[in-house]
A and B are shown apart, each in its own frame.
Chain A
């Protein structure tokens, strides 16, 4: 392993698979969170506050 490798990759066996599983999970969930908030912000101005049951 090269000296420039991140610490986790240097000390952990199979780090690519382990960190990859965390990365895939983080990216997928973050994408859903961002898409949900963007859609909410786009639609919110089209509806009056008194028509939103959660307000």
Chain B
């Protein structure tokens, strides 16, 4: 019996495990403390990659939704990828908010401020929770997929607003940490490497999760169809008897 694993998912899983191990060792032990932020900078090695993956997940949801709406066959495969990516993205966005609030407590003395970046990020999170709720509404599979695809294409427009909120409004949140406005890297080499490995690790884990979860959704659909076919056959046999 074949489950949802393949060579690709096993490779992604292995990459994620190795890279995550480095994030823990590098983030908590090997990298130096920051001259300005002190030890709280270590939260950045999980906070920044989770935010990146959440953005990526929501963009993939939008691209897959566009693929569903554009395709002549209206393949539900696109819809399954869109749904799986949004589910994973919501978790990563939630983690971004939690790790960010822990960092905020150390840096600003508060877990939460109604700051432009924090508020728009929370709004993005709530929007995608709403998207998942829309996916759960009743209707034929194609109808539900079409409805969700339209919501996904509208929701993704919030991402530039979140990302540029620190530039558009006066924000407590720091601007870009890695590159200065001139495009020069302004981080210690080991810190930059650990941050990069964190982005690779969380991206690999995201891809692993989306592949497995979209296949699980396909299994659920196929199993449901099988049950329906068996029920219809049983009723026919009953009527014929």
Q: Which residues of A contact B (CB under 8 A)?
A: 8, 12-15, 17-22, 24-25, 28-29, 32-33, 36-37, 39-41, 43-47, 49, 51-55
Please tell me if the beta carbons of B220 and A43 are within 8 angstroms of each other in the complex: yes
Chain B: residues with Cβ within 8 Å of the partner, total of 41
B47 near A21: Cβ-Cβ < 8 Å? yes
State whether A36 and B38 are in contact (beta carbons under 8 Å apart), knowing that A8-B28, A47-B226 are contacts in the complex. Answer: no
Tell whether, in the assembled complex, residue B216 and residue A21 are in contact, meaning their CB atoms are under 8 Å apart: no
Main DSSP-derived SS at the A contact region: helix
B76-109 toward A: CB 8 Å interface, digit per residue (1/0)?
Answer: 0100000000001001001100110011011000
Which residues does chain B contribute within 8 Å of A52, judged by CB atoms? 2, 215, 218-219, 222
Contact B88 A25 (CB under 8 A): no
Q: Does B212 touch A at the CB level, under 8 Å?
A: yes
Which single residue of chain A is at the shortest CB-CB distance from B23? A22
Q: A25-B95, A25-B99, A28-B94 are in contact. Are A43 and B6 (CB under 8 A)?
A: no
How far is B38's CA from A25's CA once the two chains are assembled, in angstroms?
A: 21
Residue of B27, B38, B40, B216 near A40 (CB, 8 A) is B216
Selected from A12, A20, A36, the residue in CB contact (under 8 A) with B216 is: A36
Least distance between A39 CB and chain B CB atoms (Å): 5
> How far is A25 from B99 in the complex, measured between Cα atoms in Å?
8
Pairs across A and B, CB under 8 Å, 9 listed: A18-B40, A22-B46, A24-B102, A25-B46, A25-B99, A28-B94, A36-B213, A39-B216, A52-B218
Asked whether, in the complex, the Cβ of A43 is within 8 Å of the Cβ of B102, the reply is no
Query: Are A43 and B2 in contact (CB-based, < 8 A)?
Result: no
Chain B residue contacts of A22, Cβ below 8 A: 24, 27-28, 46
5 A-B pairs with the lowest CB-CB distances in the bound complex, closest first: A43-B219, A46-B223, A40-B4, A44-B3, A21-B99
